[in-house]
Protein backbone atom coordinates (compact mmCIF):
# COMPACT_ATOMS: atom_id res chain seq x y z
CA UNK A 1 0.00 0.00 0.00
CA UNK A 2 1.39 3.32 -0.94
CA UNK A 3 0.06 6.81 -1.39
CA UNK A 4 0.45 8.15 -4.89
CA UNK A 5 -0.77 10.99 -7.05
CA UNK A 6 -0.59 8.70 -10.08
CA UNK A 7 -3.73 7.09 -11.51
CA UNK A 8 -4.67 3.87 -9.73
CA UNK A 9 -4.18 1.70 -12.83
CA UNK A 10 -0.62 2.98 -13.28
CA UNK A 11 0.19 2.29 -9.62
CA UNK A 12 -1.23 -1.24 -9.93
CA UNK A 13 0.79 -1.89 -13.09
CA UNK A 14 4.01 -0.70 -11.42
CA UNK A 15 3.35 -2.76 -8.28
CA UNK A 16 2.64 -6.02 -10.10
CA UNK A 17 5.54 -5.46 -12.48
CA UNK A 18 7.86 -5.32 -9.44
CA UNK A 19 6.47 -8.69 -8.29
CA UNK A 20 7.56 -10.13 -11.64
CA UNK A 21 5.03 -12.96 -11.54
CA UNK A 22 3.22 -12.20 -14.80
CA UNK A 23 0.01 -11.13 -13.08
CA UNK A 24 -1.73 -7.90 -14.07
CA UNK A 25 -4.78 -6.48 -12.30
CA UNK A 26 -7.39 -4.09 -13.61
CA UNK A 27 -8.63 -1.14 -11.60
CA UNK A 28 -12.10 -2.72 -11.54
CA UNK A 29 -10.78 -6.05 -10.18
CA UNK A 30 -8.81 -4.23 -7.49
CA UNK A 31 -11.83 -2.16 -6.45
CA UNK A 32 -14.06 -5.24 -6.30
CA UNK A 33 -11.51 -7.20 -4.26
CA UNK A 34 -11.10 -4.28 -1.88
CA UNK A 35 -14.81 -4.58 -0.98
CA UNK A 36 -14.08 -7.98 0.56
CA UNK A 37 -11.72 -6.52 3.16
CA UNK A 38 -13.24 -6.51 6.61
CA UNK A 39 -12.85 -3.45 8.82
CA UNK A 40 -11.92 -5.78 11.68
CA UNK A 41 -8.72 -6.67 9.80
CA UNK A 42 -7.52 -3.08 10.14
CA UNK A 43 -8.50 -2.95 13.81
CA UNK A 44 -6.47 -6.11 14.44
CA UNK A 45 -3.51 -4.82 12.42
CA UNK A 46 -3.57 -1.57 14.39
CA UNK A 47 -3.69 -3.47 17.68
CA UNK A 48 -0.85 -5.88 16.85
CA UNK A 49 1.44 -3.69 14.75
CA UNK A 50 1.00 -0.33 16.47
CA UNK A 51 -0.59 -0.39 19.89
CA UNK A 52 1.12 -3.53 21.22
CA UNK A 53 4.50 -2.41 19.89
CA UNK A 54 4.35 1.22 21.00
CA UNK A 55 2.38 0.91 24.22
CA UNK A 56 3.23 -2.66 25.27
CA UNK A 57 6.33 -1.67 27.20
CA UNK A 58 5.55 0.11 30.46
CA UNK A 59 9.20 0.89 31.17
CA UNK A 60 9.58 4.36 29.66
CA UNK A 61 10.38 7.89 30.72
CA UNK A 62 7.85 10.69 30.51
CA UNK A 63 8.07 14.37 29.66
CA UNK A 64 5.84 16.45 31.95
CA UNK A 65 3.88 13.28 32.70
CA UNK A 66 3.29 12.39 29.05
CA UNK A 67 4.87 9.66 26.96
CA UNK A 68 6.59 11.26 23.98
CA UNK A 69 6.37 9.35 20.68
CA UNK A 70 8.24 10.48 17.58
CA UNK A 71 7.93 9.30 14.00
CA UNK A 72 10.76 9.95 11.57
CA UNK A 73 9.65 9.89 7.95
CA UNK A 74 13.12 10.17 6.47
CA UNK A 75 14.46 7.47 4.17
CA UNK A 76 17.97 6.16 3.75
CA UNK A 77 19.28 4.10 0.86
CA UNK A 78 21.56 1.26 1.85
CA UNK A 79 23.89 -0.51 -0.57
CA UNK A 80 22.62 -3.81 -1.92
CA UNK A 81 25.08 -6.18 -0.23
CA UNK A 82 24.57 -9.72 1.10
CA UNK A 83 25.33 -8.55 4.65
CA UNK A 84 22.64 -5.89 4.58
CA UNK A 85 20.12 -8.20 2.94
CA UNK A 86 20.75 -10.78 5.65
pLDDT in tens, 10-61: 988 888 898 888 888 888 898 898 888 898 998 998 888 888 887 787 788 8
Segment 5-18, tens digit of pLDDT = 888 889 888 888 98
pLDDT at 64: 92
What is the C-alpha to C-alpha distance for residues 47 and 82, in angstroms, rounded to an integer? 33
- The domain segmentation of the chain, as residue ranges, is 8-74
Provide the whole-model pTM: 0.43
Contact 30, 21 (CB under 8 A): no
What is the C-alpha to C-alpha distance for residues 8 and 63, in angstroms, rounded to an integer? 43
pLDDT at 40: 92
Amino acid sequence: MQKSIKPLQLVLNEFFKKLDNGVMVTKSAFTQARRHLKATAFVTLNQKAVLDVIYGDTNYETAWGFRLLVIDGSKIHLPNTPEIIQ
